[in-house]
Structures are given as structure tokens and as C-alpha cells.
Amino acid sequence: MKKKIFNLLGKIDKFKSDHKEEIENFRIKFLSKKGHITELFDEFKKIPSEEKREVGKILNELKNQASAKIKFLKNNLKNKNVSEEKKIDLSLESTNFFGSRHPVSIIQNEILNIFNRLGFTVSDGPEIEDDWHVFSSLNFPKEHPARDMQDTFFIEKNPDILLRTHTSSVQSRMMENNRPPIRTVSPGRVFRNEAISARSHCIFHQVEGLYIAENVSFADLKQTLLYFAKEFFGEKTEIRLRPSYFPFTEPSAEVDVTCSICEGKGCNVCKYTGWLEILGCGMVDPNVLENCKIDSKKYTGFAFGMGIERIAMTKYQIKDIRLLFENDIRFLKQF
Ligand code: DAH
């Protein structure tokens, strides 16, 4: 009997587990009514009385050891569960807890990330601006008809304080405050005194791009925009530049991308042309460089500007711009 007890003591000593069921099975095997220890107590009754003292002692020891082991393993299990519950996964995005990003933010971040990879920094400027940064420095002379292209909300007249009509105002601030090379993208909100409809809103967002250095050419502009278009709309995307006019760039162009929905074949989103207009661009006019105290003989540069809502509407096939401002949860939940 002593041998059996020592054998079981060895087993108890070796037993390890962090599974609830295994620990319970161990308890049944050793301490239940049909377990080893109960069996041994029955056997104990039959042994000669002179052995009882010694065997009784180790038998009690066996029982204590088994109970202590189970208590120890159960405690370990409890602590483990608690610490697992308390563990914080720092890699989880906080957005998982607080709903989802607005489609305009999603698109804006995507655009900024692409230009980031090309070495563009991110910059911003004020929404309440003066005439100089929104118009005059950008080669819109007073009374020039080009000012009518952008209906302005004025806050004060003389001197003019207004809500910026485009993020090109950040261009002139960046050129005033930094020396070339300058390579920056400027996202932000812009305001125009326009009637609200399915296609236009009086508040929307733009991303402006600016690159000023020595020997920057139109080919650099085209290549940068092609890279952007392929990264954003997909590898098969082509771009097309159409001559256009902006006071602050010369030459100027409007850029179309092949429609990503029909891959250029023609559908109702691209009005069966196969192309979608996404931005305006051009080489920074030397007058603008000089207005911002940059030597136009030494430096050249390109600029571009795009509307984020328009790109979001193209990408997600949203038919009405107003949906992007109404904060209807049924709409926002889809992104
Ligand atoms: N600021 C123009 C607009 O709001 C967009 C634009 C066109 C920006 C050409 C540019 C550019 O930098 O070169 O319509």
C-alpha cells in the first residue's frame, strides 16, 4: 500500500495543466468517491493495526497534496483569465470602437498618403483669408473677370477678408514662408457662394499640390499625376491633359482619368465618354513666384488642385453631393 501511495504522490507532483476540464478530471480521479484516495482509505481499514500509524500519516499527506495541487492549478487559471481580459491590444485601431471614418476623410487620407510616398509634406492654412493670398498673389488682378470663376463669401470689404474659395491660398503662404525646394500637399475646406444642388455645394474640400525647385518641368507634372492616378484608381488607369486656363499657372491643363467603372469603355457615370475630370494643374506662373519672393529665373514649379468630394463621388458612385454633408448614419455606415 505504501508503494501505491508513493506512486500517486509522484503523479500529483508531476501533474500540470491550465485547462479547466483537465483539472476537474484530475480531481475526479483522485478525490471523488470513486477516486484513488477513497479507494485507499477503504484499503486502509483492512491493514494490520501496527502499520496504521505510519500509513495513515502518508495517506493523509497524499490527500492534502492532491487538494493543494487542485487549489493551486485553479488559482492559476483564474489569474490567467483575468490578465487576458485586462490585456490591451495596442495595434487595434481606435476607429473600431467609435464608428467609421467619413468618406471625405477616407479619400483625403488616401490622396495624402500617395503624395507622401513621393516626398510631399502636408501643410495647411487659414479658412478665413485675405484677398492677397486667395487672389492677388495668385495673379488675379483686381476687377479681373477670372475672379468671377469663384463666387466669394466676403466677411469684410476694404481690406478684403473672405472665406477662401480654394486651397491655392496655401500655395502662396508656403512660398512666402519657405525657400525651394518646396514639395507640399495642402488639404482643406473651401467656400463658394453657390446654390446647393446634387452636383455642387457651398462648402467642400480640396487638396492642393505644389512643387517648386530648379528645373521642374511639365513632364515632371505629368508623370507625378500619372503615378497618382494609377495608385488611386488602379494600375490600368490612363490620364489625359486638356489645355485650360487658370490665372496662377501657365500653361494650364485640366486632367481626366479613364473611367474606373467601365475602364474607358463608356458608361452612365462618365456620360459615355470613357473619361472623368479630376483636377486642374499647370506650371506656376512666374508672376506668382515673384509675388512670393521666389526667383523665377532660377526656380520653376508645378501646381495642381482637386476636389475631394468629386473624387469620392466618382470612386463610390455617389450621385448627390449633399449626402456627404447630411451625416445620415444610414449613408455613413456604408464606409
Ligand atoms: N484652385 C483651382 C480651383 O479651385 C484648382 C487648381 C487649378 C489648382 C490649377 C491649381 C492649379 O494649383 O494649378 O478651381
Tens of pLDDT, residue by residue over 210-221, are: 999 999 999 999
Q: Is the CB of 168 under 6 A from ligand 1?
A: yes
| Pocket perturbation via mutation, ligand 1, pick of 148, 151, 166, 284 by most ligand atoms within 8 A of CB | 166
**Please, are residues 186 and 125 in contact by the beta-carbon 8 Å criterion?**
yes
Predicted confidence at residue 2, as pLDDT, reads: 83
Instruction: Report the alpha-carbon distance of residue 245 to residue 305 in Å, rounded.
Output: 13
Q: Is the CB of 205 under 6 A from ligand 1?
A: no
Instruction: Report the alpha-carbon distance of residue 335 to residue 316 in Å, rounded.
Output: 9
Instruction: Report the alpha-carbon distance of residue 300 to residue 181 in Å, rounded.
Output: 10
Mark 194-232 as b/e (b = at least 16 C-beta within 10 Å): eeeeeeebeebbbbbbbbbeeebeeebbbebbbebbbbb
Residue type, 161: I
Ligand 1 centroid, distance to 136 Cα (angstroms): 15
Q: Is the CB of 166 under 6 A from ligand 1?
A: yes
pLDDT (tens digit, 9 = 90+) per residue, 156-185? 887 889 999 999 999 999 999 999 999 999
Output the furthest CA–CA distance in the chain (Å, rounded): 122
Stretch 121-143: mean pLDDT: 94
- The pLDDT confidence band at residue 97, using thresholds 50, 70 and 90, is low
Question: Which one is predicted more confidently, 210 or 266?
Answer: 210
Q: Is the CB of 280 under 6 A from ligand 1?
A: yes
pLDDT (tens digit, 9 = 90+) per residue, 57-93? 888 988 998 999 899 998 888 877 766 666 777 777 7
**Please, are residues 137 and 201 in contact by the beta-carbon 8 Å criterion?**
no
Instruction: Report the alpha-carbon distance of residue 163 to residue 145 in Å, rounded.
Output: 19
**Please, are residues 259 and 269 in contact by the beta-carbon 8 Å criterion?**
yes
Instruction: Report the alpha-carbon distance of residue 202 to residue 158 in Å, rounded.
Output: 23
All residues at 6 or more sequence positions from 169 whose CB lies less than 8 Å from its CB, including other chains: 125, 129, 133, 134, 138
Q: Which ranges of 234-307 does DSSP label H, i.e. alpha helix?
A: 286-291
Total-model pTM: 0.71
Axis-axis angle for helices 2-14, 49-86 (nearest 10): 10
If DSSP codes are grouped into helix, strand and coil, which group holds residue 183?
A: strand
Quick one: which atom of ligand 1 is closest to the CA of 208? 12
